[in-house]
């Protein structure tokens, strides 16, 4: 039986964005579903568009997400290597010569100036710009003469001049292209580097790729690819094009939108589980209503049959929803470890916090869990637990109570609170609420000022939660501070 081999073949032109994360995730899941292998290949033949560190960033992201490759530039197994295209230029040269020899490709000596002139003429005549095939019909003598004179050349693929080209996509079925719409496109550039079209086909063949899976934006390349396989008399692999990802307004999701880099999401405190779940649903349709899928569940459930072709909509609210969901699934200890770097970065916690600081964090976790959407929300929403607070005294005032009344209420509460020995959340709540009830006091008159005294915030967890997390000493100090702020 033929081996099942898939590949992820990014160009190192930038850091990984969510679109490419979706592609590599789908490649990985398809490989798992088909019981095949996943190969990483770096398509770096366009040297001018390269970004330093792109491969490292990709490996780092995949590692963080939990996606593994079976082969690639970073692996020991180099059986089909090298896996970096710029290290394979001889292979492409050799193959381009084969195509020249079997007359599927030709040398083109047209100068840049001639091509520009041709294009502007075509545009003027409202024709689609397309190479006019001048060099396709050069005589052998002319070609030899040009080569001997060391004239710069590119190598172009000879495309059919008439009829239709029928190709097959596993998700869309047969797709027909008119020969007339296809250009004799370039396979080898004048700098001796191959184009994507040549390099990817040669490598997919030599690396024995059985399923070429990539984004829908590559469908226009499909007829060129298939014709190249035929020109080499090679077996054509299966092609799968994942649906486009569009913005909510239907526009194209741009790679250049800085905020879609996986790195940025990670720095904002998104969890890998949430990104995986979110990306999985960009084109994949699970059977039931459940939308929560971990990587290992996806490995079991994802299949080619459940992939769609209509564009997937990128809805950031959904990502937030998943992130909140996975945050709530974390144990307190785990969530503490995950949020710690964010607290340290916000200078609210030291790298090696004291035992009591750590305990404070652990008490905060179950309360924070219900309120945060990203890990970075934690220092943002709860800094008052970690640093001194400052606020306007007007914030302490509940409805039409006077400053004196508020101060008196806080004093009353202080007396109760100082006596509480068992500093547990339930006990704090029970003691204070029963006191208010037994003495016929209105909750708001006491609990609003108490909550503000402890947090300095308009919005925060309940006064009991605040007091519980802060601890007895800090709570008493903050209540006393509030009383002095009211000057009573």
The set of catalytic residues is 255
Nearest distance from C-beta of residue 8 to ligand GLU, angstroms:
7
Nearest distance from C-beta of residue 111 to ligand GLU, angstroms:
28
Q: How many CB atoms lie within 10 A of CB 208?
A: 17
Residue with structure tokens 């191959």?
A: 194
Nearest distance from C-beta of residue 212 to ligand GLU, angstroms:
6
Q: Three-class SS of residue 174? A: strand
Nearest distance from C-beta of residue 41 to ligand GLU, angstroms:
8
Burial of 238 (0-12, 13-18, 19+ CB in 10 A): middle
C-beta of 177 vs 196, nearer to ligand GLU: 196
Give the helix, strand, coil percentages of the chain, each rounded to 5.
50, 10, 35
C-beta of 49 vs 145, nearer to ligand GLU: 49
Residues 6+ apart with CB under 8 A from 439: none
Residue 108, beta-bridge partner list: 154
Nearest distance from C-beta of residue 229 to ligand GLU, angstroms:
14
C-beta of 27 vs 377, nearer to ligand GLU: 27
- Dihedral sign for Cα atoms in the order 433, 438, 439, 443: positive
C-beta of 46 vs 405, nearer to ligand GLU: 46
Gap between the Cα atoms of 17 and 61, Å rounded: 10
Residues 6+ apart with CB under 8 A from 216: 241, 242, 243, 244, 309
C-beta of 108 vs 244, nearer to ligand GLU: 244
Which of 474, 387, 384, 462 is closest to 428 using CA atoms?
A: 462
Residues 6+ apart with CB under 8 A from 253: 18, 19, 245, 246, 247, 260, 314
Gap between the Cα atoms of 93 and 198, Å rounded: 10
Burial 247-281 (b: 16+ CB within 10 A, else e): eeeeeebeeeeeebbbeebbeebbbbbbbbbbbbb
C-beta of 216 vs 359, nearer to ligand GLU: 216
Gap between the Cα atoms of 193 and 85, Å rounded: 10
Q: How many CB atoms lie within 10 A of CB 457?
A: 17
Count of residues in the chain: 488
Q: Which spans of this chain sit near ligand GLU (rule: CB under 6 A)? A: 9-11, 43, 196, 200, 214, 218
Nearest distance from C-beta of residue 225 to ligand GLU, angstroms:
9
Nearest distance from C-beta of residue 304 to ligand GLU, angstroms:
17
């Amino acid at each position: 039986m033929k081996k099942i081999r898939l590949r992820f073949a990014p160009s190192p032109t930038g850091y990984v964005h969510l679109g490419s994360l979706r592609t590599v995730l789908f490649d990985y899941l398809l490989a798992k579903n088909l019981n095949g292998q996943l190969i990483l290949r770096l398509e770096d033949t366009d040297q001018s568009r390269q970004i330093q560190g792109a491969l490292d960033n990709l490996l780092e992201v995949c590692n963080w997400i939990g996606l593994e490759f079976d082969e690639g530039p970073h692996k020991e197994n180099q059986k089909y290597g090298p896996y970096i295209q710029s290290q394979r230029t001889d292979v492409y040269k050799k193959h381009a010569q084969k195509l020249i020899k079997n007359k599927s490709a030709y040398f083109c000596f047209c100068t840049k100036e001639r091509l520009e002139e041709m294009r502007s003429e075509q545009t003027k005549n409202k024709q689609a710009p397309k190479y006019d095939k001048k060099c396709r019909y050069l005589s052998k003598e002319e070609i030899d003469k040009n080569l001997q004179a060391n004239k710069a050349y590119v190598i172009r693929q000879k495309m059919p001049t008439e009829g239709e080209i029928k190709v097959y996509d596993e998700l869309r079925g047969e797709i027909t292209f008119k020969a007339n719409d296809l250009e004799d496109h370039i396979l080898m550039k004048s700098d001796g580097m191959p184009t994507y079209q040549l390099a990817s086909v040669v490598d997919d063949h030599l690396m024995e790729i059985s399923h070429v899976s990539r984004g829908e934006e590559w469908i226009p390349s499909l007829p060129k690819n298939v014709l190249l396989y035929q020109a080499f008399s090679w077996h054509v692999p299966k092609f799968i094009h994942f649906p486009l990802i569009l913005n909510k307004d239907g526009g194209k999701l741009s790679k250049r939108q800085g905020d879609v880099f996986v790195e940025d999401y990670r720095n904002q405190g998104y969890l890998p589980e949430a990104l995986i779940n979110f990306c999985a649903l960009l084109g994949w349709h699970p059977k039931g209503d459940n939308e929560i899928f971990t990587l290992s569940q996806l490995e079991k459930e994802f299949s080619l049959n459940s992939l769609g072709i209509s564009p997937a909509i990128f809805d950031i609210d959904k990502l937030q929803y998943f992130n909140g969901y996975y945050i709530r699934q974390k144990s307190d200890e785990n969530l503490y470890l995950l949020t710690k770097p964010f607290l340290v970065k916000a200078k609210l916690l030291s790298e090696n916090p004291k035992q009591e600081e750590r305990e404070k964090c652990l008490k905060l976790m179950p309360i924070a869990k219900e309120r945060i959407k990203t890990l970075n929300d934690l220092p943002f929403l709860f800094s008052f637990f970690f640093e001194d607070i400052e606020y306007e005294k007007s914030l302490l005032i509940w409805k039409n109570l006077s400053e004196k009344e508020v101060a008196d209420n806080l004093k009353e509460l202080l007396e109760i609170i100082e006596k509480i020995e068992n500093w547990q959340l339930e006990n704090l709540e029970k003691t204070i609420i029963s006191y208010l009830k037994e003495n016929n006091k209105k909750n708001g008159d006491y609990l609003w000022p108490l909550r503000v005294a402890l947090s300095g915030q308009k919005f925060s967890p309940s006064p009991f939660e605040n007091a519980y997390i802060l601890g007895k000493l800090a709570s008493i100090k903050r209540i006393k501070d509030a009383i002095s702020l009211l000057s009573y």
